[in-house]
Structure 1
Amino acid sequence: MSAQYIPGAEIPGTSGPVGIDDSGSDSADVLVIGAGAAGAALVWSLARRGLDVLCLEQGDWVPQQEIPKNHADWEVRGRHYWNPSPGKRRGPADYPVTNLGENPVDVYMYSAVGGSAIGYGAHFWRFEPSDFKAKTIDDFGVDWPIEYEDLIPYYEINEQMMGMSGAGGDPVQPGRPSVPLKPMPIGRQGDRWIDGFDKLGWYWWAQSQAILSEDWKGRPACVNRGFCAFGCPSGAMALPSNTYWPEAIAAGARLRTHARVREVTVGEDGEATGARYYDEDGRLRSVTAKTVVISGNGVGTPRLLLMSKSPRFPNGLANSSGQVGRNFMPHVQTMVIGHFEDPTDADHGAWGGTVSSRHFYETDPDNDYKRGFTMVAMRGYSPLNTALATAPWGEGHHEALEHHLNHEATIWVCGDDAPEEHNRIELDEENLDDFGLPGVRTYYTLSENSKRLGADGVRRATELAYAAGADSVRTTGFDSILGWHLLGTARMGSDPANSVVDANNRAHDVPNLYVVDGSSFSTGGAVNPTHTIQALALRAADKIWEARSA
């Protein structure tokens, strides 16, 4: 983000000033690259054990005054400096991203403290046990080298740290009898969605969210201002910057912003020695560390690995398998939007969800596709987005807008997306950032399985909308693909020939290098990945500690 952090300014949801390391130290026990959801959780866990942890972040803190929802023109701001697409935002911390393939992905990605979570919707799902064994169960994708049970204790820690609202006892979610906070209010539109689910005989459950339904750990409860992706002025939405980072810094962790990493360095023995990065003034600096962790997201991580070429690693660091950048999975995502005669209170409450369903999550042998999808029944779109989609300029504009505004509600469909090598991230040597470093090209094409799965998701969501009382339905389709989830591009596996990291997130090729973010996912499941990304990061921190103590 372009905003400058003001020393001593308060970050929403914290009890006081949050500082930035400016000591100029060039060494650390652990170097973490990326201060997003994964990096924050991992740094917090290691710093509390007394390790000297330094985190390099390409972006900066996002001050409260920069949050769009603090301004009357919040929707305009949301389409400019807050735009989730780096290609449209073009901020000083961004690098060029070009999206190609038969179904190009509109990549959602921020460089900032908190990463892409600064503009997320705060859906907070756990994966299902079957997600880790999709190959064995359904001959879909690949199996993970870990199981659901391995993440249960880390899911629990993360739910407490972030302050998750929801309802325990979900019959399709084993091992979660309770959650920290009660569910967020669902409003009358939530009641309509429940009525629709019940008419169809489909399972539903209260949506779990990283938004406070009551005061929690010094942060205030949500006041239902809505449209959460435009920023949360109160701090009720859990972000890495108002949960993990204040505690990590209090424990001694050091965070250096405006640090654009050029390469991870390696020694003659093939182990990582640290990194070279450009500081805010454009000076090339070096830092050494005993352990290096890359947490740059599913696009930024393969970019850095591919940039970190050397005589020992001519095809990119940790890339003897050729899998770095491959198996890109953004999920099969679309929106089905129902129109209702009565107002939907679209602006009241958390936009990200009221109730949701994994009724169609598992493979059904009667379908012509494998795996399944989630349906999240939400409130409606914001005024400007509604106008641009439904009310063209000219005669009838006001009538059309009045017809749609606050009379629509949305069902988000998220489907499983198989890892395929042709869906990939590559360096773009023709489009460079301001420091002369390459941008990236993404390539993505929907598989036949994804097309059939997506079509059924739209059909089922349309059924739900009408069952809930909608009088008409529109859909956003699959052009372009929503790039909210960037997964799989440095995947986890037991075999070094077809994966990048092992079950502990450690690179097969480099014993003191870890990749800890969504790029390590073996498969993507059919839910938002942030909770699982953070649970994996907490587990990886334990594995790093165990390796150092061995």
Structure 2
Amino acid sequence: MKHKPVDVLIIGAGASGAAVAWSLADTRMHILCLDQGDWMKPSEYPSTGRDWEARFYGDYSPSPNIRARPEDYPINEDNSPIKVVNFNGVGGSTVMYTAHWPRLHPSDFRVKTLDGVADDWPIGYDTLVPFFAENDRMMGTSGLSGDPASPLTDPPMPPQPLGKSGAMIGKAMNKLGWHWWPSDTTVATMDYEGRARCINLGHCTPACAQGAKASTDITYWPAALRAGVELRTHCRVREITTNEDGMASGVIFYDKDGVEQFQPAEVVIVACNGVGTPRLLLNSKSERFPDGLANSSGLVGKNLMFHPYAQVYGYVEAPTDSNRAPPTCLWSKEFYETDPSRDFVRGYGIQFGRGAGPVFEAVASEAKGLLPWGADHHRVFRKLNGHRLAASAICEDLPEEHNRVTLDPVLKDSHGIPAPRIDYTISENSRKMMEHGIARAREVLTAAGATDICVNSPILYGGWHLLGTARMGTDPARSVVNEWGRSHDVKNLFIVDGSVFVTSGGVNPTSTIQAIALYIADQMKQRLANLFD
């Protein structure tokens, strides 16, 4: 079945797809977004019931391989110590994320110049500043201005309360003389743009039934739809097609009933994350593009960056905040920038968590040998439950071509489309960084009075951040898209998600991903008259 052509076709309705759709809407072009998932129903979110933690291990697991909803696709990640976590549906992974909201630092765009590793970005932090601010307003951020160790922000809402856990960590950091600051988040601390404030229903992952946590299905998409953007759900795109001139001509997709359809378009924008985007490009082979679309550099799918996480936690005598939202209450950038005295380049951020819910605590404590079975079980559990403090080092992952996404030769999704295969190893630099972060986290928790300190390194299901597999750059031989997101090979094909990252920094990337999407949309609007030159 062939549909009427549209001016702009966006593939993916998550963080970047929603932002670019909203921004382009003021052009009055016919903009259509296809997403393989559906609209979410907050009334069905786990936080509406007592079994929310159990569902975290089942139908709302962050892992698509465990969750296995019809909207998901399988991933072969046998050859990776870190497993992919994402979510498919309107809002994408913003439905499931922890709402932690740092920005990349100015230094993150200049690592080659500053430290002689990886590559510099073709754009700098200052280019993105107005788009960061616009995105903070649209997503509705809460935080405290003036952090001396991070890019300055001006959140529209005050920060989350430090709570019991935050106060303990802050005092411990003060003892050590190390930087800390209340985290910026996208959790509303007051009623904001139709969203109710946080009432601590529980952990922000998975999903927020209150609507206090910003996800693009409740922030960008309502505004984009009012502006005339069209959104179709249950549309799984198989490949991007091209015409005799080598331009993108549209997409072949499967509808809800599994019927193959063709949607023609003048411009195609890919917003499928750092795994889904290379999967789609590599599957869009043709006689003209035998190695996959937009892949003359051979870099599509390569340079995958995950952010290895080292988690350290312990137990204090005083009660903590347990699973109170949001989970990340403080951050530290004490070890973020390169220090020549260390045996690794670049650095990491430290994120401090409030604690864990009772089911997670029971499972994790038993696995670590802290919680016995038998007569002493309840006494020990009461000592552990609601007394946890946690610190995680989010380590910068430098780009390496052998870390990659390819098409699996055997595994396929329910429509017969080849599944992505992940081949990833943690670099020696990242390992040294993690060990340094673990040692520092131990110092913090010890200063807070914690005992029974445990380590998870790397966090197994920690592949939240999918970056670098269709990198940005000015040299077509060393990058997939140019400095404003346009494919070097296909002039009417754009990529706006985390796959365009050149380096990863040491912070959660969603804020930067969306700022880049808004920047690319702005560049497209400025160049409409000669978009295909």
Is this contact kept in 2: 1:334–1:475, CA < 8 A?
yes
1:366 to 341, 344, 363: 341
Q: Distance in 1 between matches of 2:466 and 2:352?
A: 23
1:272–1:512: 8 Å Cα contact kept in structure 2? yes
Residues 274-353 of structure 1: matches in 2 within 5 Å?
274-351=250-327, 353=328
Q: Answer yes or no: is 1:81 the counterpart of 2:54.
A: no
DSSP 3-state at the match of 1:483: coil
The 1-side partners of 2:461 and 2:206 are apart by: 21
Pick aligned residue for 1:480 from 457, 460, 473? 460
Partner of 1:152: 129
1: distance between equivalents of 2:450 and 2:372? Answer: 25
Pair 1:243–1:481, CA change in 2 (3 A)? closer
How do residues 464-503 of structure 1 correspond to structure 2 at under 5 angstroms?
464-478=444-458, 480=460, 482-503=462-483
Q: Which of 519, 522, 532 is the matching residue for 1:539?
A: 519
Aligned to 1:10: none
Paired letter, 1:503:
E
**Aligned: 1:186 with 2:166:** no
Q: CA deviation at 1:172?
A: 2.3
Q: Which runs of 4+ in 1 moved over 4 A?
A: none
* Shift of residue 388, structure 1, vs aligned partner: 0.6
Among 202, 211, 225, the alignment partner of 2:187 is: 211
Task: Specify which of 146, 149, 163 is matched with residue 169 of structure 1.
Answer: 146
- Cα distance in 2, alignment partners of residues 349 and 75 from structure 1: 14
Q: In 1, distance between residues paired with 2:497 and 2:378?
A: 45
- The aligned counterpart of 2:42 is 64
**Is 1:136 matched with 2:116?**
no
Q: CA RMSD in A?
A: 1.5
* Equivalence for 2:12: 34
How much has 1:197 moved relative to structure 2? 0.8
Partner of 2:403: 423
CA distance in 1 between partners of 2:152 and 2:99 (Å): 21
**Which amino acid in structure 2 is aligned with residue 342 of structure 1?**
A
Can you give the 5+ residue segments of structure 1 that lack an aligned partner in the other structure? 1-23
What TM-score results when the alignment is normalised by the length of structure 2? 0.96
Whole-angstrom CA distance in 2 between matches of 1:358 and 1:506: 33
Distance 2:351 2:302 in 1: 29
CA shift for structure 1 position 409: 1.6
Q: How does the TM-score come out when normalised to structure 1?
A: 0.93
After superposition, where does 1:226-237 map in structure 2 within 5 Å? 226-237=202-213
Per-residue deviation, 1:479:
5.9
Aligned to 1:97: 75
Residue in structure 2 matched with residue 438 of structure 1 by the alignment:
418
1:375 maps to amino acid: I
Q: Which residue number corresponds to residue 258 of structure 1?
A: 234
**CA contact 1:390–1:400 (8 Å) conserved in 2:** no
The answer to whether the 8 A contact 1:381-1:410 is kept is no
Letter in 2 for 1:163: G
Give the letter for the 1:399 counterpart.
R
Change (3 A) 1:532 1:141: same
Letter of the aligned partner of 2:380 in structure 1?
Answer: A
Structure 1 position 263, deviation (Å):
0.5
Q: Secondary structure at the match of 1:490?
A: coil
Given that 1:333 and 1:481 are in contact with CA atoms closer than 8 Å, whether structure 2 keeps it comes out as: no
CA–CA distance in structure 2, aligned partners of residues 28 and 468 of structure 1: 58
Kept in 2: contact 1:100–1:444 (CA 8 A): no
Alpha-carbon separation, structure 2, partners of 1:175 and 1:382: 33
SS at 1:409 equivalent: strand
Q: 1:65 is paired with a residue of what secondary structure? A: helix
Aligned residue for 1:273?
Answer: 249
Q: Which residue of the partner structure matches residue 506 of structure 1?
A: 486
Residues 256-293 of structure 1 show CA distances to partners (whole Å, capped at 9, x for unaligned) of 00001011010111111111100011111111111100
What corresponds to 1:14 in structure 2? none
1:354 is the counterpart of 2:329: yes
* Equivalent residues of 1:58, 1:260 under 8 A apart: yes
Whether the aligned pair in 2 keeps the contact of 1:30 and 1:292 (CA below 8 Å) is yes
Aligned equivalent of 1:245: 221
More displaced stretch, 41-50 vs 300-309: 41-50
Corresponding position of 2:373: 394
Contact 2:252 2:263 in 1 (8 A): yes
**Retained in 2: the 8 A contact 1:333–1:415?**
yes
List aligned pairs for 1:448-467, cutoff 5 A. 448-467=428-447
Residue 40 to residue 340, structure 1, CA distance change in 2 (3 Å):
same
- 1:268 and 1:147 map into 2 onto residues whose CA distance is 36
Query: Could you tell me which amino acid in structure 1 is paired with residue 45 of structure 2?
Result: I
Q: 1:506 & 1:538 partners in 2: Cα distance?
A: 14
- Number of aligned positions between the proteins: 525
Distance 1:250 1:83 in 2: 32
1:288–1:393 Cα change, 3 Å:
farther
- Tell me which residue corresponds to 1:529: 509
The verdict on how the C-alpha distance between 1:348 and 1:104 changes in structure 2, with shifts beyond 3 A counting, is: closer
1:5 is aligned to none
Aligned partners of 2:494 and 2:402: how far apart in 1? 24
Deviates more, 1:341-350 or 1:389-398: 389-398
- Kept in 2: contact 1:331–1:526 (CA 8 A): yes
Distance of 2:62 and 2:122 partners within structure 1: 32
2:96 aligned to which of 119, 132, 135: 119
Counterpart position of 2:390? 410
Gap change, CA 1:226 and 1:479, over 3 Å in 2: closer
Q: CA deviation at 1:104?
A: 2.3
Could you tell me how far 1:349 is from its partner in structure 2? Answer: 3.5
Q: Which stretch has the larger CA shift, 309-318 or 45-54?
A: 45-54
**Structure 2: which 5+ runs fail to align?**
none
**Does the residue aligned with 2:171 lie in a helix, a strand or coil?**
helix
